[in-house]
Amino acid sequence: MAASSLPTLSVSIEPLGDRVVVMPIEAEQITSFGIIIPDTAKGEKPQQGIVLALGSGGIPSTSSGQAANPRDYLKVGDKVLFGKYAGDEVKLKDKDNKDVEVKILHLDAVLGLVK
């Protein structure tokens, strides 16, 4: 799913602190023979998503004492990896009034960028 094909939400979300709003995307795993492996056979693996919004930081980390700012690491449209059970799921509506599920994660729940 490219950033240009993301649905337009009916509301604007501005995450607070070090939070990141991510739209989960399904990553298909295909063998060299073209066989699609279902999610149940893959096991517990990190999921991928597209960054929709970033907080501005400002909440100090308890371990380092410095505030983490997601904008130092990510930008809107980045594809990221996060743990399967990380963050909070929120259902929103797009401009066509269809349900869209997003996740709100802390910056430290983002495992890495997919390039």
Q: Where are the alpha helices (DSSP H) in 1-115?
A: 39-42
**Domain tally for the chain?**
1
Q: Residues 93-107: what's their mean pLDDT?
A: 87
**Partner residues linked to 50 by β-bridges:** 23, 79
pLDDT score at 95: 82
Name the percent of the chain lying above pLDDT 90. 26
Question: For residues 77 and 4, what is the distance between their CA atoms, to the nearest angstrom?
Answer: 9
pLDDT score at 64: 65
pTM above 0.85, yes or no: no
Domain carrying residue 90 = 3-113
Chain position carrying tokens 């059970």: 85
Q: Could you tell me the CATH number of the domain that includes residue 62?
A: 2.30.33.40
Contact 24, 47 (CB under 8 A): yes
